[in-house]
A and B are shown apart, each in its own frame.
Chain A
Amino acid sequence: MTALRQKVLVLYLKSSALDSPVTAWAQYDGTGQTLHMAGDEDEPPYPTGVAALKDGWRLFQASQLLPHARGEEFDLAYLKYEFLFEQLMEVDR
């Protein structure tokens, strides 16, 4: 008996272009086979978002491009270009 579990890859890129370089990343493994955590890798798993697509990751969400609030145009806050990918894995139940 098998079931599907989700693996999630979060990539932060240098721009909204999916082929721009990765600046930050996170991974979560719903199969429980691997455990990812903050600070566990110093090199990104892929050089760009497109490289993740080529390796079989499916993009399911990208951050919006929002207008800049008046008076806050030059403020810095969260990383802007967030892309969420998934892989569905078969696991034994």
Chain B
Amino acid sequence: MTEPLRLTTREVATFVARGFLRFDAAVLAEINEQFLEEAGRIRDPRPGERVHRIHAEALAKARIPEVAPGAPLFEAYPPESALGRLMRLPRVAGGFRSLLGEAPVFDHHFLHVTFPPKFHAAASRENVSQNTHQDSTIDPGAGFDVQLMYFPHAVTREMGGTRFTPGTHLHKVSEAAIGRYQNMVGQQHMVCEAGTLLFLHHGIWHGGGVNHADQARYMFKIRAHASTRQTRCWNLEDLPRRNARRPIFFTKSAPEPDTIETILTTPEPWFEFDTGRLEFVNRIKLWRYMTEDPAYDADYWLTRLEATPEAQAAR
């Protein structure tokens, strides 16, 4: 097998700050074609037939295996299947290993199909998008699972695309409780080439977009968790040995782009005025976890909180 392509420090910092990494057209065309063949075609609806029945039939016929949770991720698929080949791609193997350590464990997978308007018309149902949600059961821990979204064919805006809002992943919410958040400033829709990959922190807020095109839209999701240490597993060659303490607030020039501190303290457009600071605090805490450096700080956000008289006296 080709050596896994480990993520860089800046890629992992971006994942920590924004909750996702996107790699466009990262999967070979022949794997995409093989996957679509194994997934099978969606047949036309019969009058009155509900979409979920057609979807269930497609899942049953698909040449994608059922896999029980707890399996070693890299042994979950037959080696010559499209998904087996996908998992051996250096970008995929390296991405999972960088974020989940050497022995990621399979949680679940799913073939998401978003149906064109005629399927909803046949069932006399409205063609609507999926409400915004987080794939959580309220998850208060520091660690995280990774969800890989694989887009095996090109996705146009008309086809909807998976919608997600960068930077929402550190919010501890309860799955569909956020369904009222229809739209957010800065939300993104996955319009992409075939073979595009999204590595997601499992906490990112997302939902399936409504499909107005003639063609069914496929997205395959694989969720995995760590079974070993998930920290310091990326390519550490570019990890700065010491974080730079730079001037804050009163500054005479724009911050140097692409430093860890800049990545961790770049706000998203939907951040609230006051809790925007808490976003930075939580990103820095996650970076401490990922780097195993409990003293790390960016722009004094945690030092200011920790340097209380009580804490000083306790030393």
Q: Please, which residues of chain A bring their CB within 8 A of the CB of B262? A: none
The reply to whether the CB of B131 lies closer than 8 angstroms to some CB of chain A is yes
Given A23-B272, A37-B210, A78 and B171 touching (CB < 8 A)? yes
Q: B173 touching A39 by the CB < 8 A rule?
A: no
> Which chain B residues in 195-229 approach chain A with CB under 8 Å?
207, 209-210
Q: Please, which residues of chain A bring their CB within 8 A of the CB of B185? A: 22-24, 44
> Which chain B residues in 97-142 approach chain A with CB under 8 Å?
126, 128-132
The reply to whether the CB of A60 lies closer than 8 angstroms to some CB of chain B is no
Q: A80 touching B272 by the CB < 8 A rule?
A: yes
Q: B171 touching A39 by the CB < 8 A rule?
A: no
Partner of B129, one of A13, A24, A37: A37
Closest Cβ neighbor of A24 among chain B residues = B184
Closest Cβ neighbor of B130 among chain A residues = A38
Q: A40 touching B182 by the CB < 8 A rule?
A: yes
Q: Please, which residues of chain A bring their CB within 8 A of the CB of B274? A: 15, 80
> Which chain A residues in 30-62 approach chain B with CB under 8 Å?
35-42, 44
B136–chain A nearest beta-carbon distance, Å:
11
Q: B182 touching A36 by the CB < 8 A rule?
A: yes
The reply to whether the CB of B60 lies closer than 8 angstroms to some CB of chain A is no
Q: B278 touching A74 by the CB < 8 A rule?
A: yes
The reply to whether the CB of B252 lies closer than 8 angstroms to some CB of chain A is no
| Contact-size category for A | 20 to 34
The reply to whether the CB of B183 lies closer than 8 angstroms to some CB of chain A is yes
A69 CA to B172 CA, complexed, in Å: 14
Q: B183 touching A74 by the CB < 8 A rule?
A: no
Interface SS of B by simple majority: loop
Q: Which residue of A15, A36, A78 has the most chain B CB atoms within 10 A of its CB atom?
A: A78
The reply to whether the CB of A92 lies closer than 8 angstroms to some CB of chain B is no
Q: Please, which residues of chain B bring their CB within 8 A of the CB of A15? A: 272-274
Partner of A40, one of B126, B183, B282: B183
Q: Please, which residues of chain B bring their CB within 8 A of the CB of A75? A: 172, 278
B264–chain A nearest beta-carbon distance, Å:
15
Q: B182 touching A26 by the CB < 8 A rule?
A: yes
The reply to whether the CB of B281 lies closer than 8 angstroms to some CB of chain A is yes
Q: Please, which residues of chain B bring their CB within 8 A of the CB of A13? A: 272
Q: Please, which residues of chain B bring their CB within 8 A of the CB of A5? A: none
Q: A81 touching B272 by the CB < 8 A rule?
A: yes
The reply to whether the CB of B312 lies closer than 8 angstroms to some CB of chain A is no
> Which chain B residues in 248-286 approach chain A with CB under 8 Å?
269-275, 278-279, 281-282
B213–chain A nearest beta-carbon distance, Å:
15
Q: A40 touching B129 by the CB < 8 A rule?
A: yes
B286–chain A nearest beta-carbon distance, Å:
12
Q: Which residue of A20, A25, A26, A79 has the most chain B CB atoms within 10 A of its CB atom?
A: A79
A41 CA to B210 CA, complexed, in Å: 12
The reply to whether the CB of B170 lies closer than 8 angstroms to some CB of chain A is yes
A39–chain B nearest beta-carbon distance, Å:
4
Pairs of residues from A and B, 5 with the lowest C-beta to C-beta distance, nearest first = A26-B182, A23-B270, A39-B163, A24-B184, A76-B171
Q: Which residues of A contact B (CB under 8 A)?
A: 10, 12-15, 20, 22-27, 35-42, 44, 74-81
Q: Which residues of B contact A (CB under 8 A)?
A: 126, 128-132, 160, 163, 170-173, 177-185, 187, 189, 207, 209-210, 269-275, 278-279, 281-282, 305
Known: A39-B207, A80-B272, A80-B275. 7 other contacts (CB 8 A): A13-B272, A14-B272, A26-B181, A26-B183, A35-B126, A37-B182, A39-B160
